[in-house]
Amino acid sequence: MTTAPLFLVDDVATLPAPGGETLLDGPEGRHAATVRRLRPGEALVLSDGRGGLAHAEAVAVAGRDALSVRLTAVTRVPPPAVRVVVAQALVKGDRGELAVETATEAGADGFLPWKAARCVARWDDGPRGAKALARWRSTVREAAKQARRPWQPEVGEPVTTAQLARRVAGADRALVLHESAEPGLAEVGLPDAGEVLLAVGPEGGVDDHELGLLTEAGAVPVRMGPEVLRASTAACVALGALAVRTGRWTRAAGIDG
């Protein structure tokens, strides 16, 4: 049995009680009615991206842009005990979107676009930078829907290395992926709860000055293995390892409908 498709709503708490009906409209309604072509009786899930889930079934298609649905159950999934925020260095071309897309599917709880020194890609403070940030946010939103995630990751404003170092100081554990690090990702201690900040450098790597700033703030350089991964795939692989260690890869109650 396939997992029911997920559609976003503003707030699950404002929906009717189970047994009641509501109208899914706007872009999400269009996607349900026209793209997915859901028909009466088919299951779907409504989510507000903040842990609220409403299981429902399609009642009737209301034109091309709306779907009438009947709620069958409402649940709330608590946030994970260990949250992993990825500081992803800017990557040129569409590899930046690939990085945040795969990391979202692998379980990242948030992103900080990192203006690392060796980044080839540059985001200015004007319209071009705003457009690039909007692409990351849109990519994360769609990837979270595809992965049926009850909590949608947030994409923060771009940070410099100095700003990232301040964020490192406030994290419960901060890790910097680095090919020359001694400890492996499987060897470092992790908190039972709180925030793990995972820094992923650009194609040219994290330079020595940046690494010094981050380690002075409390970050631990770690490696994942003998191979060197691309900047666009490293976060996804690291998140898989962290998910095993923190118990993230267990089925959360309330997602199946």
**pLDDT tens track for 54-81:** 999 999 998 778 999 999 999 999 999 9
Whether this model's pTM surpasses 0.85 = yes
CA distances 255 to 102, 127, 212, Å, are 20, 38, 42
Which segments of the chain belong to CATH 3.40.1280.10? 82-246
Pick the range with the lowest mean pLDDT from 59-68, 71-80, 224-233, 246-255. 246-255
Which segments of the chain belong to CATH 2.40.240.20? 6-76
Residue type, 240: G
pLDDT of residue 252: 53
Token pair for 10: 């503003």
DSSP class of 110: E
Contacts of 26 (CB under 8 A, 6+ apart): 65
DSSP class of 14: G
CATH number of 82-246: 3.40.1280.10
Rounded to a whole number of angstroms, the CA Rg of the chain reads 20
Question: pLDDT per residue over 150-207, tens digit each?
Answer: 999 999 999 999 999 999 999 999 999 998 888 999 999 999 999 999 999 998 899 9
Question: Among residues of the chain, what percentage have pLDDT more than 90?
Answer: 81
Angle between helices 208-216 and 161-170 (to 10 degrees): 30
User: What number is the average pLDDT over the span 212-235?
Assistant: 92
Query: Who wins on pLDDT, 218 or 2?
Result: 218
Burial of 193: CB neighbours in 10 Å, binned 0-12, 13-18, 19+: exposed
CATH number of 6-76: 2.40.240.20
Question: Among residues of the chain, what percentage have pLDDT more than 70?
Answer: 97
pLDDT of residue 257: 42
251: pLDDT strictly greater than 80: no
Answer for the pair 167, 87: CB distance below 8 angstroms, yes or no.
yes
Average pLDDT over the chain reads 93
Angle between helices 95-106 and 127-146 (to 10 degrees): 30
pLDDT of residue 1: 56
Task: Report residue 107: phi and psi, to 5°.
Answer: 115, 10
